[in-house]
Amino acid sequence: MADAVQLLLVGTSHRHAPIAVREQLASHAHGARLIESVIAEEAVIEAVGLSTCNRCELYMVGADADAMREAALRRLSGYARRSEQDLEPLLYVREGGDAAEHLFAVAGGLDSLVPGEAQILAQIRESYVHSLEMGSTGAVSNRLFHEAIEAGKRVRHETAIGRSNASVASVAAELVRERLGDLAGARVLIVGAGKVAELVAQNLASRGQVSIVVANRSAARAQALAERFDGRAAAFDRLSDAVAEADVVVSSTLSDGYLIGPGDVPAGRRVLVDLALPRDIDPEVAGVDGATLVNLDDLEEIVLRNIGLRQNEAEQAYAIVREQAGRFRSWLAALEVVPAITELRAQAEQIRRSELERMDGRWEHLTAADRERLDQLTRSMLNKLLHRPTVRLKELAEEGDAAQLAALSELFGLTPRP
């Protein structure tokens, strides 16, 4: 639809694309290049990118939804190193209020690998602020992401969705316990010192008397995290030595390539958990005798088996999401008829002024004060006459009644908007 505000989402997630595709997108989407390339497209006026371990999504605003979809597909296929024909089936597309409802559900943790996990809300806020600082946002995307953050907060405060404290880190720790059995005395290597690494260490420590070693490019950060669990730091440039000594290896960094390969892992019983995207551990490690390698996609099976939303909580959460999305739909619909309302009022104002000017020389004994009163009188009459048509235009837009909207526009002689 030309000359109208269009909101479009194009993206993929753990539910639609394998980890090999997601890591190609994530390796670029962490930076500004993807947004810069999309906002450079003529069809895209506003753009915000959301990139996490489990999803890569583009929220775009422009006048032509089809042109925006084609631009996003073209850019994403280049980053994914796949043809548009191969990538398109792995993507989902949402328009208008449906795009908003999807984002609000994501913000509420309802579309996460671990339902209800809280980290996604911080990631949404971070992605939005990043795009805001780049100057790629605007009136629609600003409103959209403010509403999304509000929806996420409401889901957490008004339902029990997030009270289980379930997270990717807790699921990973539970998987390690299942595979090794008794964790007492287990030697655990944590590669990375970010929030996920901290949560994994905390969850493993709570499940048994483990010995924790932390390796990170920043020796100071590694030492600080290790001390929290009475552990020690390992030299990052001797990572293979630390891997060889560990029973459990959990890696979560933002490295561009593999940190651990099959040559770094001696034969023997050990569990390696790769929570990074792009991946830190070469998939070939799975072939090492005695090694168990688990990545983000493998965790979904554990999640589906052990973690689920209680039906009542899910219904309450989705009710909040639908309510927030309904308000956004109304706002967006009203925004789309602003040009028509502006044109209607401009036409009426032109007629009012023209008639006052035509009668200007015919008044007898009309003082300046009288002229001001006459101007106010005609302006008030105009506003009252246009109030109902203005309200009805907004209502028809919210209802999606294109036929009546077109009829009302034709009745007032407004410019047709395809």
Distances (CA, A) of 114 to 22, 151, 173, 254, 310: 17, 18, 13, 21, 13
Residue 302: C-alpha distances to residues 173, 296, 297, 306, 370 (Å): 11, 10, 10, 6, 80
Instruction: Single out the residue of 218, 224, 216, 223 nearest to residue 253, CA to CA.
Output: 216
Number of H helices, E strands in the chain: 16, 10
| Residue 379, beta-bridge partner list | none
Helix axes 338-359, 311-336, angle to 10 degrees: 30
Active site residue 56: no
In 3D space, the residue among 125, 127, 137, 129 whose CA is nearest the CA of residue 44 turns out to be 137
Q: CA angle 238-247-221, nearest 5°?
A: 45
**In whole angstroms, what is the distance from residue 169 CA to residue 190 CA?**
12
- Marked catalytic residue, from 4, 9, 38, 53: 53
DSSP of 189-228, one letter per residue? EEE--SHHHHHHHHHHHHTS--EEEEE-SSHHHHHHHHHH
**DSSP summary character for residue 112:** S
Measure CA 86 to chain center: 23
Burial 162-192 (b: 16+ CB within 10 A, else e): bebebbbbbbbbbbbbeebeebeebbbbbbb
Residue 278, preceding peptide bond in cis (omega within 30° of 0): yes
Partner residues linked to 291 by β-bridges: 270
User: Which residues are designated catalytic?
Assistant: 53
